[in-house]
Amino acid sequence: MRIIELPSYEQISRAAADAIAYQLRRKPDSVLGLCTGTTPLGAYELLGEMCRAGQADFSRVTTFNLDEYCGLEASSPDSYHSFMHANLFSKINIDPANTHLPSCEGEAAAQAACDAYERAIEQAGGIDLQLLGIGGNGHIGFNEPSDVISDITHVVRLTESTIKANSRLFGGEEAKVPRTAVTMGVGTILRACRIVLICGAGKYEILQKAAAGPITPQVPASLLRLHPDCTVWCERQAHKM
């Protein structure tokens, strides 16, 4: 894991957007793994600008998102489908048919949908570049701290800390946050050719654990140290070692 400190959120966003634009210049039909959350918003804004300026072309790109809540319609304003449309897909020249998010409709159907998602990633040729954030509890995607490492896309029960953290996106009402979600597994993430994690100043403690503590599924982001090409861009205060 390569950790690069930058002085501001704007510079982290620029670094992530440049990494994606560079990836698209090298391989115009790249497969991107994408994340939601507050952290990637700056990078997504910049990618929209770069696309309008002709500096990034998404016309041949395929995307797979990390995760989605269970129990929300894709059209719900709180779904990650809506988040991605509002914050990225509507701002770039991507074919909506090439954008994918996992879905989770009913417990029984869920595992079949998860397996189909894994197969779709494989059939697309695998993920070239995976963009990630990190949760306050060390989660990547919705892979919460656990005793086991999950290999593939699966349904998870969210931890109280994640429900609390994400309630800010549900008008501050914890009761409105879905209790379960579907997420790529840690294995899915580690199979990406390249991983870029971006991290704001508020994540200092957990980034320190992930970067220098034991490699354990109890701190899912620590497992990224097993990947041969993982770059972390963090705001200076986020990594003071």
Site residues for ligand PGA per CB under 6 A: 37-39, 133-135, 139
Known catalytic membership, residue 144: yes
User: Minimum Å distance from CB 6 to ligand PGA?
Assistant: 16
Nearer to ligand PGA, 55 or 161 (CB): 161
The Cβ-side half-sphere exposure at 33, using a 13 Å CA radius, reads: 32
Nearer to ligand PGA, 37 or 102 (CB): 37
- What are the strands, taking DSSP E only, across 97-166? 99-100, 129-132, 154-157
Nearer to ligand PGA, 93 or 180 (CB): 180
Q: Which residues contact 140 (CB under 8 A, 6 or more apart)?
A: 66, 132, 134, 186, 189, 197, 220, 221, 223, 224
Which is the catalytic residue, given 65, 98, 137, 143? 137
Known catalytic membership, residue 93: no
CA dist 183 → 90, 137, 237 (Å):
23, 16, 29
Which is the catalytic residue, given 68, 118, 128, 144? 144
Known catalytic membership, residue 67: yes
User: Minimum Å distance from CB 153 to ligand PGA?
Assistant: 16
Q: Which residues contact 107 (CB under 8 A, 6 or more apart)?
A: 155
Nearer to ligand PGA, 12 or 193 (CB): 12
Known catalytic membership, residue 139: yes
Q: Which residues are designated catalytic?
A: 67, 137, 139, 144
